[in-house]
Chain A
Amino acid sequence: MQVIDADIVIVGAGGAGLRAAIAVAEADPSLHIALLSKVYPMRSHTCAAEGGAAGVVKANDSLEYHFNDTVSGGDWLTDQDAVDLFVNEITKELIQMEHWGCPWSREGSGHVAVRPFGGMKIMRTWYAADKTGFHMLHTLFQTSLKYPSIKRFDEYYTSDLIVDDGACHGCTAIEMRTGEMKLFRGKSVIVCTGGAGRIFPFTTNGAIKTGDGMAMAYRAGVPLKDMEFVQYHPTGLPGSGILLTEGCRGEGGYLLNKDNYRYLQDYDLGPATPTPVLKSMELGPRDRLSQAFWQESKKGNTVQGKWGDIVWLDMRHLGEKLINERLPLVRDLSISYVAADPVTDLVPVRPVVHYMMGGIHTDINAATPIAGLYSAGECACVSINGANRLGSNSLGELLVFGARAGRFAVEHAKTVKAPRDALVTAQAADAEGRIKALFKRSGGKQRVSQLKREMNLSLEEGCGIYRDEKSLRDTVAVIADVRARYRDVTLEDKSSVYNTDLYQTLELGAMIECAETVVHSALLRTESRGAHQRLDHVERDDVNFLKHSMAYYNPNGDPRIDYHEVVITKSQPAARVYGAAAGGQAA
């Protein structure tokens, strides 16, 4: 097996991975960086983010406001030391992006413009029209080309982390164009592989968001934290699951039920003012809006369309000029996918799985419990998102914690001597052996697509916007069954060059591992908090569950679920208030 030595190995070249790579290159240009990604960096799913990135910059705003919005938005499951650090560092990161060329939208004066976003009391979301993530990703990618120490390995599928004696020494990855497995040895490893929304059937997440990195770290012994908190975004296009950014509502769009009534006023989010007020109505947090949809649907107030239940997103009153300037992609997508022009028509929408609040357990330095292993971005859980992420906090998160991961990985690398060669090589050989065995396996009757479908549907049915003990137990059983049958999957494609059957099969394995942590954590959390709503335990239970769930891998059975204290510094858990009582600013 070919061995590639680097000082810092970074797995994933989305927003977080690229930011980490640049941080390493700037901290110490003499370090060799290997940046691996299963797709070309600009294909990473950060490109899909539309709305923006929050950072305090205007005179009427304060760090404390951003802190409070984030902590209460996360239903107090956030670690407050991490949030504090985050709100303090994010603006600097956003300015850094500006210096690197990110085309932020501007005010007439030439200063960056900000827009309102759900759950934020003050307008503080920086944006680049409705393609913020796209511009951030391309800015980071293009800027990364400046640094000779960043060596990219594009289209390398990382299969396993090499962990020995409580420390991480690298990873194994398959070069997709040749099918050859290589061993990457490094003193520090940073995992930035993004989310796992694809475990659900209806999601805004791209094909690559299969939780590979979460599963790798999980298998290596790192707990996955708070995996039961899965964010549904209230406005996905039915059928395709394509996202219509929260910006639609930030600019003043309404959500209407079948009677053209702004139903959110019935869910403690009112009063219904004609122009948007922050933290009210359509600018409430995502968990509450998605839950309101579910309730409306139970009451028979949603519209039965050809795509099932939907409600309407009404942007007609915003006018063509504003829509073209601020929401051009939204218009394009709506016309193309549901034949509705927001300028003249109501657009059908429904909640769609969007973001994993949980992920690889890290501390505020992006370090995992395994020495030399760091993680940042959507795959990590610091946690600043708690039980519900506020829109526009995750693009910020990947910058702040991506950069921190890079810097702390550099610090760690300085302390490491050469890895223990023999053991590392043996582990890599094991990883290769597993792939070879998969190629050799024959006669299995299980199809990847069938297993994936079963997993997807059972999660949606049993572990969706609302859950209860029975639905969760059913899902637990289905996932266990899928996991058992997965061992019998046979590759239909036995070739080496760009074998996507192989990668989809490996991805399914990762997804099953993520799914089991989601459903087991959800089953044991007998309370309702943020995005985790139990019909059989409707109240938040701070006595027993003001804690992070920690799912540990168990090769022979269900994950072991443990708990970890939440860091509370200055904000004691209280009721989450939205609507009139929240005192949000007019947007």
Chain B
Amino acid sequence: MSKRTIQLEVLRYRPEQDKEPFFQTYTVPCEEEWVVLDALNYVKDEIDRTLSFRWSCHMFVCGSCGYKIDGEPKLGCKAFLRDYGDNIRVEPLDNFPIERDLVVVIDDFVEKLQSVKPYIIAKEEKALAAGEYIQTPAQLKAFKQYSMCINCLLCYSACPQYGLTNQEFIGPAALALAHRYNMDSRDVGRSAREHVLAAHEGVWECSFVGACSVVCPKDVDPAGAIQQAKFTSAVDYLTSMVGIGGK
């Protein structure tokens, strides 16, 4: 296997001893097929046990390993070294407070996720004995893309609105998830979610920079979901004005 040596510049911040973050450079001998996460693990195992970062699955599905790599929000386990030069800069995701090193505080996101009521709100409870809801492949397709989000938060890191509003904006992933349930044929909860979506911090805060959809590793296209939600939200508003009432 071919070896290669890289310089890994990692933003360090240890709240108990550092006043503010600084870059520390590690020299890492790497295998050709490694990802950035492998290089970080090499540092942790062989060079510096004080470096902290989150990871688990190593197969881009748990969403733990979002870092800013060479200026772009990426999953560490999906950032192949072959696509980078010999100097790689790894920083914590933007727009979140740094807890320590590459670990950021995501409490705010978790609250936002909860605020959009991300669960089926059914018309009436169906007995289990009555079997499953009928949902055609076409009905599934209507929301499937928006159910693929792994909560990696790359989109929040890329979204200037989230940063500029001091985390007030509900943000791409949570809004996409709300849209996912709104589009599900089993759900009738759109009006219950409407006050969150249509609020000042909801879909209308989005200025369609579109960065979220560019960085999303799962092709969720949150920007698209938000624009669609704007449309339904506007229609809901208009219909409620003329007294027809929405879903």
Contact = CB atoms under 8 A, between A and B. Distances in A.
Contacts of B57: 43, 45, 47-48, 206-207
A207 B56 contact: yes
B50 A42 contact: no
Nearest to B217: A332
Nearest to A108: B137
Contact of B56 (A45, A107, A501): A45
B58 A240 contact: yes
A134 B150 contact: yes
A497 B63 contact: no
Interface in B41-76: 44-46, 48-64
Contacts of A45: 56-57, 62
B63 A492 contact: no
A281 to B, nearest CB: 27
A426 to B, nearest CB: 30
Interface residues of B, number: 64
Given A207-B55, A493-B49, A42 B33 contact: no
A225 interface: no
A492 B30 CA distance: 24
Nearest to B62: A43
A496 B16 contact: yes
Among B78, B139, B147, B184: residue with most chain A CB under 10 A: B147
Given A45-B57, A108-B136, A496-B16, A306 B128 contact: no
6 closest A-B pairs by beta carbon, nearest first, are A449-B45, A110-B134, A206-B56, A492-B49, A101-B120, A493-B50
A495 B61 contact: no
Given A108-B137, A337-B33, A500-B44, A495 B50 contact: yes
Contacts of B120: 99-101, 143
21 contacts: A39-B64, A42-B62, A42-B150, A45-B56, A92-B128, A96-B128, A99-B120, A101-B181, A103-B144, A110-B135, A110-B137, A110-B139, A135-B147, A142-B177, A145-B117, A146-B117, A207-B56, A306-B1, A329-B61, A496-B16, A498-B100
A496 B126 CA distance: 49
Contacts, number: 156
Contact of B99 (A47, A491, A497): A497
B119 interface: yes
A448 B50 CA distance: 12
B114 interface: yes
Interface residues of A, number: 63
Contacts of A317: none
A12 B232 CA distance: 39
Nearest to A138: B147
Interface string A99-125: 111011111111110000000000000
Contacts of A240: 33, 58-59
B131 interface: yes
Contacts of A110: 134-137, 139
A333 B143 CA distance: 24
Interface string A337-369: 110000000000000000000000000000000
Contacts of B14: 495, 497
A208 interface: yes
Contact of B15 (A142, A329, A497): A497
B113 to A, nearest CB: 8
